[in-house]
């Protein structure tokens, strides 16, 4: 019998502008799902809280420092390369200028999204965000 797979704990930031637009960025070259659109974030390191990990990751990846971030939702997704537990945080305040430090692209998005493909683990959160806005969302296609 094989050992059960361990979760990779991931902090994810849903950066929201005053107009409701959400920041998405592409997965960097050389990583699984390179070029797919995702909400920014990354793995928790030993001893880090979700907020600490998200703050570190967004400085490293985007060059911005977030203010307070609390977990909004937690989801799990089984990718071929990793079993992940995603800790989703809504973030309304940050400082600094956006710099794509890993060669990725970024786009502020309203619904319906105009970027594709989107990382599959983001679908449940996109559905919840659509519901909050009174919209329907279906696997990458909003109606």
- Where b means 16+ CB within 10 Å and e means fewer, 42-75 reads bebeeebebbebbbbbbeebbebebeebebeeeb
| Residue 1: pLDDT band with limits 50, 70, 90 | low
Tell me: pLDDT of 65 over 70.
yes
Q: Are 109 and 137 in contact (CB under 8 A)?
A: no
User: CA–CA distance from 82 to each of 9, 38, 54, 56, 121 (Å)?
Assistant: 10, 16, 19, 21, 11
State how far the Cα of 123 lies from the Cα of 137, in Å rounded to an integer.
Answer: 9
| Residue 141: pLDDT band with limits 50, 70, 90 | very low
| Residue 139: pLDDT band with limits 50, 70, 90 | low
Domain boundaries, the chain: 7-142
pTM: 0.92
- Domain 7-142 belongs to what architecture? Alpha-Beta Complex (3.90)
Contacts of 103 (CB under 8 A, 6+ apart): 28, 29
pLDDT at position 143, please? 35
């Amino acid at each position: 019998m094989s050992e059960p797979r361990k979760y990779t704990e991931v902090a994810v930031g849903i950066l929201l502008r005053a107009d409701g637009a959400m920041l998405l960025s592409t997965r960097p070259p050389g990583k699984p799902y390179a070029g797919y659109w995702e909400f920014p974030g990354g793995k928790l390191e030993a001893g880090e809280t979700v907020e600490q990990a998200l703050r570190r990751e967004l400085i490293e990846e985007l060059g911005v420092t977030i203010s307070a971030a609390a977990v909004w939702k937690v989801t799990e997704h089984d990718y071929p390369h990793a079993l992940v537990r995603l800790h989703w945080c809504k973030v309304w305040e940050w400082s600094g200028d956006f710099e794509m430090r890993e060669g990725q692209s970024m786009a502020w998005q309203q619904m319906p999204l105009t970027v594709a493909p989107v990382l599959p683990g983001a679908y449940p959160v996109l559905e919840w965000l659509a519901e909050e806005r009174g919209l329907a969302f279906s696997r990458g296609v909003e109606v």
